[in-house]
Amino acid sequence: MEAKYDFEKKFREQILQCSRCGFCQAVCPVYGSTLRPALNARGKMLLLKEVMDGKIDLGEDLIESLFQCTTCASCAANCPSGVNVPEIIKQARKDMVHIGSCHPAFVGMNDVLQKSTNIYAEDELPDFGRKRDKKAAFVYFVGCVGSYREDESTEETLDLMDRLAVDYTLISEVCCSGVLEDVGYNLNPKLARENLDRMFSTGAGAVITGCPYCFRTFTHRKEYDELKEKGIKVLHISQFLKDFDFGVKTGKKVTYHDPCDLGRHCGIYEEPRATIKKIASDFVEMQHHHADSLCCGAGGGVRGAFAKNSLSMARRRLKEAEEVGAEILLTECNSCVHNLVNAKLRKQNIKIYNTTAFINELVNKIDKV
Amino acid sequence: MDDQLKAALIEIAGADNYSEGLIDLVSYSYDASQHSARPSCAVWPQTAEQVSRIMALANRLLVPVIPRGAGTGLSGMAVPVKGGIILDLSRMNKILKISIEDRLAIVEPGVVYANLEKALGPYGFFFPPDPASGKVSTLGGNVATNAGGVKGAKYGTTRDYVLALQVVLPDGRIMRTGSRAMKSVSGYDLTRLFVGSEGTLGVVTEITLKINPKPTATSTALATFSNLEDAGRAVSRIMYSGIIPSVLEILGKETILAINKNTDLNLPEVDAMLLAETDGYTKEETDYQMAKIIEVFSSNKALEITQARSEQEAVNLWKARKSAYAVLARIKTHFVLEDVTVPMGKVADLLKGIEAISRKHGIQIATFGHAGDGNLHPQILYDGYNPVDVEKMEAASADLFSLAISLNGTLTGEHGIGISKAPFMSLEHDPVAMDVMRSIKRLLDPRNILNPGKMALDTKDETGETPTHAPANA
Ligand SMILES: Cc1cc2nc3c(=O)[nH]c(=O)nc-3n(C[C@H](O)[C@H](O)[C@H](O)COP(=O)(O)OP(=O)(O)OC[C@H]3O[C@@H](n4cnc5c(N)ncnc54)[C@H](O)[C@@H]3O)c2cc1C
Ligand code: SF4
Ligand code: SF4
């Protein structure tokens, strides 16, 4: 029988390969904060298996499970049967969109990115008091969350780069639109074109991204292949900064949260730690770190569509930071910072920063003395 | 789902702890076995009191109830073959007490094995059974299946550590069994009756476990053998040596070949490998024990013996054993992981018999397992969408069970009877034993509402029928 949906055409073998061992349950952040097995990777694979077996229909009833996945890839990293759940989920979401069964928040995101230049449908891109689209050695690409929600953190990052006398420019950037791939739609090639043209016109030899997701999009999506073809390097800010000396130190107890997009998806674990260890004498790992890191709950469109569970995932992560007695939680992703800060309870004293912002704050303190 | 039952369940557990949503019904139709069947609804109780009320209600309305932990069972034990209510205990997940002076831990049934391990770590204690599914499976599930693991030979299984239980009976009455004291000969051993009962006699709502101090030193060695007899004899001879290794694992040839094909471990392609670990509190002590084991390996024609000189080397020696399951899980779309167990002196016979069965049915069976307690895991690999393959798999399973019984062994050392092995119960247990088991089931669950359809216990209930409850969405 001809497969009805693309997810089946592409992933039938893998879905059948799921042995239902349930090992993903130990690591799935959605399960961890709901204790509802229908929401973990096994639950999702079983739904798709039953669709393939003709026992149930792909449709509205499945939205709550299939659209509630942060695409953190913890399941895939721990699956003995080698099932790449996030890729399968992304395809199934596209099939659902195709038949008109999609979470309204995801439809909204696509609508916005067809009309607007950013995921928040904001009219004006902040310039952080800097001239954009100059000729420079580096382009600094901020990303939507850093531009419109965590702009203070971005300001600090840019200040730090100025102090380090980096020859960079901001561009009139638009959303990389990679996120659309995760929520059932496709990356918007028009937006990609705009970004590429603006990057090229600066003459820069490398693009530095503040956002791990933009980094992943620029390095992994074919729509951005021209960067590689033109020999333009893409670096995440944590890679770029690892060789600098900042001349500051903190005695506070510091821990680091690996963003899923930087860690499990791109394999960048050590550069952020190298920098942190330079500036923090008391560094501790949380229970889950590196490839085992626990997702903050923001990804895969979950923050928008299932806000309550998204926050409770972030709370679980904060709890781990508290358990090791950390006073400062550093990460390398505006989206993680945003969700973790939102989830923080007033009584929790821990402070959450992007590493760059934290370093800049330390430098500022010295300057004031 | 009928409205009266639904309203009552919501009243008992709260709307957030009840579901009849399709996604939950599909997810609760399966465990880690090849079986599936749709329940009518799912409830997540939070207290023993709620469990008691749910059981009383279900008993009155004749609705099956299926207790469930993490659903990692490999025999269909938590699959609702007769429909009914899934009672997911994973939200009862508090560690109630750790008492080092009394050497015990008291937990709710939904606590995941690994979480207890984490909590005991700082005290230098552990709960030894260590099932390979420990990161996910629940202590309630471990008790209900009498779970074991690689350390079974030295430390026994879950059964050896359960001191006391709180159990809700099928009619809703709450009962306490056992005692917090290390020793008790007071009355029948009701605790043991419930350990391994696969959720057919009562719902475990609190568990008191004996805990052990955790050995701090280990020695590890790996030996290869060019034929099975030598490896088998080595296992028997270790028993004579006076040393009980904390681990004694075996990998058969088919498994070694599969590992080589799918990893870059480059193992020697021998007939069998034995991995041994000794544990204790000083390196001298564990090395002394290991020296004795290595002596046995050499005098039984081991080809090559490697002893780890560092922790990293030990990790390397474990790699082959640790990769076995994941490698075998990827070869075909389906597999069954059996757990036939024989007296240790018969391990070589079992391995040879498995090879013969594999040849006879023309189906791939790769074997690894716990030689130290005679518990092997022949993993039968097949394509579940090919009826010929399925038939072969079933025939090979049946032969495996007969083989194990003929070697004075048992159908299952760890994974339980559930649905998969129910048809073979009478192969192992005589009619009198079957009658006693069924009588116990009838005594505690006369209306056959608790996890019905499992373990070949289903005789007619008092109304002359096995109760079933048609799933609403089926
Ligand atoms: C990859 C893999 C490796 C495994 N390795 C091992 C191993 O090394 N050793 C081993 O012994 N097993 C092993 N198993 C099997 C399985 O993990 C164990 O049987 C485990 O104890 C089941 O626990 P669970 O919480 O998943 O229970 P479930 O599968 O949810 O339930 C199992 C049975 O227990 C009953 N039950 C669950 N909770 C309760 C309760 N509170 N009260 C009454 N009845 C209850 C259920 O009704 C069912 O009959 C493995 C499984 C997999 C998939
Ligand atoms: S870990 Fe992999 S094989 Fe196991 S249940 Fe999850 S997705 Fe399936
Ligand atoms: S990708 Fe993350 S959130 Fe999604 S199913 Fe896997 S573990 Fe769960």
State the pLDDT at residue A368. Answer: 65
Give the pLDDT of residue A128: 95
B225 and B317 belong to one structural domain:
yes
Q: Does residue B469 carry a pLDDT above 70? A: no
Residue B381 CA to its chain's centroid (Å):
20
Structural domain includes residue B78: yes
Ligand 3 pocket residue status of A73, Cβ below 6 Å: yes
- Whole-number Å distance, alpha carbon A229 to ligand 1 midpoint, is 53
Span from the CA of A336 to the centroid of ligand 2 (angstroms): 26
Q: Report the pLDDT value the prediction gives residue A365, as an integer from 0 to 100.
A: 86
One domain, residues B166 and B102: yes
Same domain, B292 and B384: no
Out of A22, A38, A56, the one facing B32 most closely (by C-beta) is: A22
- Residue B309 sits in a domain whose CATH number is 3.30.70.2190
Any idea which fold A6-101 has?
Fumarate Reductase Iron-sulfur Protein; Chain B, domain 2 (1.10.1060)
Q: What integer best gives the mean pLDDT of chain A?
A: 95
Q: Say whether pLDDT at A369 is over 60.
A: no
* B207 and B104 part of one domain: yes
Cα B392 to ligand 1 centroid, rounded to whole Å:
26
By alpha-carbon position, which residue is closest to atom 6 of ligand 3?
A: A75
At residue B383's C-alpha, the angle toward residues B381 and B389, to 5°, is 85
pLDDT at A341: 96
Question: Are B202 and B306 found together in one domain?
Answer: no
Which residues have C-beta within 8 Å of that of residue A283, sequence separation ≥ 6? A253, A254, A255, A256, A273, A276, A277
Shared domain check, B166 and B258: no
What percent of chain A shows pLDDT beyond 70? 99
CB burial of residue B127 (10 Å; 0-12, 13-18, 19+):
buried
DSSP conformation class of A12:
H
The mean per-residue pLDDT over the stretch B297-311 comes to 96
User: Which phi and psi angles does B68 have, rounded to 5°?
Assistant: -145, 140
Between β-strands B85-88 and B41-43, what pairing exists: parallel, antiparallel or unpaired?
parallel
DSSP string of A187-212, one letter each residue: --HHHHHHHHHHHHHTT-SEEEES-H
CB spacing of B329 vs A42 below 8 angstroms: no
Q: Is the pLDDT of residue B328 over 70?
A: yes
Return the pLDDT at A2: 82
Q: Which atom of ligand 3 is nearest to the CA of A71?
A: 1
User: Do B355 and B282 lie in a common domain?
Assistant: no
**B472 in a structural domain:** no
Same domain, B80 and B169: no
Are B197 and B110 members of one domain?
A: yes
Range(s) for CATH 3.40.50 in chain A? 138-241, 254-368
Percentage of residues of chain A with pLDDT beyond 90: 93
Closest residue, chain A, to B110 (C-alpha) = A35
pLDDT the model gives residue B1 = 61
pTM of the model as a whole: 0.95
Q: What is the pLDDT of residue B459?
A: 56
Interface test with B, best of A23, A30, A312 (most B CBs within 10 A): A23
Tens-place pLDDT, residues A321-340: 999 999 999 999 999 999 99
Nearest CA among A63, A44, A38 for reference residue A302 = A63
The last residue of one of the domains, among B270, B286, B321, is B321
Residue A57 is predicted with a pLDDT of: 95
Helix axes A270-279, A355-368, angle to 10 degrees: 20
Does residue A305 carry a pLDDT above 90? yes
Which of B157, B187, B213 terminates a domain? The answer is B213
The verdict on residue B436 lying in a domain is no
Residue B374 lies in a domain: yes
pLDDT in tens, B177-222: 999 999 999 999 999 999 999 999 999 999 999 999 999 999 999 9
In order, the DSSP letters of B168-204 are E-TTS-EEEEE-SSS----SS-HHHHHTT-TTSS-EE
Regarding an ipTM greater than 0.85, the answer is yes
Contacts of residue B114 in chain A, CB cutoff 8 Å?
A: 26
End-of-domain residue from the set B88, B115, B131: B88
Whether A353 shows a pLDDT value over 50: the answer reads yes
Domain boundaries A138-241, corresponding CATH code: 3.40.50
Q: Ligand 2: residues whose CB is within 6 Å?
A: A 18-24, 41-42, 45, 75, 79, 81, 83, 85
Residue range B81-123, pLDDT digits in tens: 999 999 999 999 999 999 999 999 999 999 999 999 999 999 9
* Inside any domain, residue B73: yes
pLDDT number for residue B458: 85
Residue B337 belongs to a domain: yes
Tell me if A69 CB under 6 Å of ligand 3.
Answer: yes
- The answer to the question of residue B464 being in a domain is no
State the closest ligand 1 atom to the C-alpha of B67, by its place in the atom list counted from 1. Answer: 47
Average pLDDT in the B21-48 region? 97
- Judge if the beta carbon of residue A293 lies within 6 A of ligand 3: no
**Range of the structural domain that residue B267 is part of:** 216-321
Mean pLDDT of B326-347: 93
pLDDT category of residue B395 using cuts at 50, 70 and 90: very high
**Would you say residue B435 lies in a domain?**
no
Q: What is the CATH number of the domain that holds B397?
A: 3.30.70.2740
With a CB cutoff of 8 Å and minimum separation 6, the contacts of B271 are B225, B226, B227, B228, B231, B252, B253
- Please indicate, yes or no, whether residues B222 and B207 belong to a single structural domain of this protein: no
Domain with CATH 1.10.1060.10 in chain A: 6-101
Alpha carbon B361 to its chain centroid, in Å, reads 27
DSSP string, B210-222: E-EEPP-EEEEEE
Q: State residue B472's pLDDT score.
A: 39
Calculate how close chain A gets to B137, using CA atoms only, in Å: 9
Partner-chain contact A21 B31, CB within 8 Å: no
**Neighbour tally for B133: CB within 10 Å:** 24
Lowest-confidence range among A256-270, B41-55, B227-241? B227-241
CATH of the domain at B182: 3.30.465.10
Q: What is the distance between the alpha carbons of residues B366 and B363, in angstroms, rounded to a whole number?
A: 10
**Do B398 and B365 reside in the same domain of the chain?**
yes
pLDDT in tens, A44-93: 999 999 999 999 999 999 999 999 999 999 999 999 999 999 999 999 99
Domains: count for chain B: 4
Q: What is the mean pLDDT of chain B?
A: 94
The conformation of residue B423, written as its DSSP 8-state character, comes to G
Chain A and chain B share a number of CB contacts under 8 A equal to 88
Q: How confident is the model at residue B34 (pLDDT cuts 50, 70, 90)?
A: very high
Chain A interface residues (partner B, CB cutoff 8 A): 13, 16-17, 19-23, 25-26, 35-39, 42-43, 46-47, 50, 56, 61-62, 64-65, 80-82, 287
Q: Which CATH number fits domain A254-368: 3.30.40, 1.25.40, 3.30.1710, 3.40.50?
A: 3.40.50
